[in-house]
Amino acid sequence: MKLHEILINIGCSVAFLLFPVLFSPDSNMSFDLFAAIPFQRDFFAYMLMVGFFYVNYYFIIPRFYFKRNYLVYALTVLACFLIVVFLPIWIIIDPLHQAANLIHLPEVGRYDADQFHGHQSLLFFVASTRFFQFASIAVFSMMLKMHNRLKDTRREQLGSELSFLKAQINPHFLFNTLNSIYSSAVQENAPTTANSIVRLSGLMRYVYTESVSDYVPLEHEINYITDYVLLQGIRLQETVPIIFRIEGDFNNKKIAPLLLMPFIENAFKYGVNAEEASRIFINISVTRDQLILTAENNKVSTIYESSFSSGVGLSNVRNRLQLVYPSRHELIVKDLNDVYKVFLSIQLR
């Protein structure tokens, strides 16, 4: 449990325990209140209910309710309720009643009967009052536990889906980059090959270190994309015009790693053919907390299986955007006759 969660729990518990102090009929804003037997019983009952909240949250609900042992759960909660009602009465004894019991005489039997009925009425009133308080705590702890369990499930689902999506992206990236280095290696420009290897090592280091985080500095992500585009430019030489623009201030901002890469990678994957008119346009701009990516490529014949254009790859990207930036992104994809255009807007954290 994090520090702020501990402080919240302590604050809520203290606030709850103040109820019998603030709303007690014996309250006179002095320490005499703590000597009153009804107040002592109320305060002890409230302490027991605070304890029940945490026992129910951390033990009873996970141990019985989530495992579908509903009968055991109900009986356990009922036992806790009886403890809250009767334990304060059994432990904290009224001295006046205790003295009356010590001087009990046969001729006061009618008084004892009236006293017994009075105790019954008092006990019924206390039990009914405790019931609503106890039920509220039980329902609240159940709702809170269910909410947190859904959050944990959602977080686990998010982690597994993001890992799956990253695993789909990385092999494509490595395959294309290695092809780029191979193409330059078979040519005579050895320094270009050396630079490509250096850039590839940096890219691989980024993929297998920083990209495992939920969010990375936007500047690092932009550097990663820049190196990738430069590698593609080395491979393509001047056969394909590449327009790559970066605008805005990327400092002190974060983004989910490898989120933009599918659009950029697919612009090169499906927009390059030496025998056809090819052109790659990529623009990334940041204004305040909004990032805008525009990617455009001519539709040409390629040897790749068009998983992105068929909807599989695009569906994966949409899922990841929905998981990471729900209601904080806009994705527009235009699949025209001769051009493929992508517009993506993200509200950064």
> Are the C-beta atoms of residues 344 and 292 closer than 8 Å to each other?
yes
pLDDT tier, 268 (very low <50, low <70, confident <90, very high otherwise)? confident
Asked if residue 60 has pLDDT above 90, the reply is yes
Check: CB of residue 157 under 8 Å from CB of residue 165: no
Q: What are the phi and psi torsion angles at 26 (to 5°)?
A: -90, 5
- pTM reported for the whole predicted model: 0.54
Helix (H) or strand (E) holding 95: helix 95-102
Please list the alpha-helical segments (H only) found in 186-335.
Answer: 190-208, 218-236, 261-270, 312-324
* Mean pLDDT for the stretch of residues 76-90: 90
| % residues pLDDT > 70 (the chain) | 68
Using a pLDDT cut of 90, give the percent of the chain over it.
22
Cβ neighbourhood burial of 341 (10 Å; 0-12, 13-18, 19+): middle
| Amino acid (one-letter) located at 223 | N
Strand partners, 244: 282
Instruction: Return all residues near 193 (Cβ < 8 A) that are at least 6 apart.
Output: 181, 184, 185
Using DSSP's 3-state secondary structure scheme, residue 285 falls into strand
Q: Write down the residue that tokens 């302590």 correspond to.
A: 10
Check residues 243 and 308 and name the one with the higher pLDDT: 243
pLDDT for residue 187 = 62
User: CB under 8 Å to 34, separation ≥6 — which residues?
Assistant: 40
Residues contacting 207, CB < 8 A, separation 6+? 170, 173, 258
Coil/strand/helix, residue 220: helix
- Cα-based distances in Å from 109 to 1, 120, 342: 58, 17, 92
CB 277 within 8 A of CB 298: yes
Q: Which residue has the tokens 């320094």?
A: 191
Taking alpha carbons only, the member of 228, 230, 308 closest to residue 263 is 308
Per-residue pLDDT at 110: 47
Distance CA 242, CA 246 (A): 13
Q: CA-to-CA distance for 40 and 268, rounded, in angstroms?
A: 76
Q: Which residue did the predictor score with more confidence, 291 or 104?
A: 291
Lowest model confidence (mean pLDDT) among 110-114, 170-174, 200-204, 301-305:
110-114
Closest by CA position to 41, among listed 53, 25, 57, 60: 25
Across all residues in the chain, what is the average pLDDT? Answer: 77
Distant-in-sequence, close-in-space partners of 69: CB < 8 Å, separation ≥ 6: 63
For residue 166, pLDDT over 90 is answered with no
Domains and CATH numbers, the chain: 3-152 (no CATH), 187-347 (3.30.565.10)
173 closest CA partner among 336, 313, 342, 319: 313
Ramachandran sector of residue 126 (left: φ over 0; alpha: ψ -120 to 50; beta: rest): alpha
Least confident span in 23-37, 61-75, 109-123, 330-344:
109-123
- Residue 88 banded pLDDT, cuts 50, 70, 90: confident
Give the orientation angle of helix 109-185 with respect to helix 261-270, to 10 degrees.
Answer: 30
Note the pLDDT of residue 21.
58
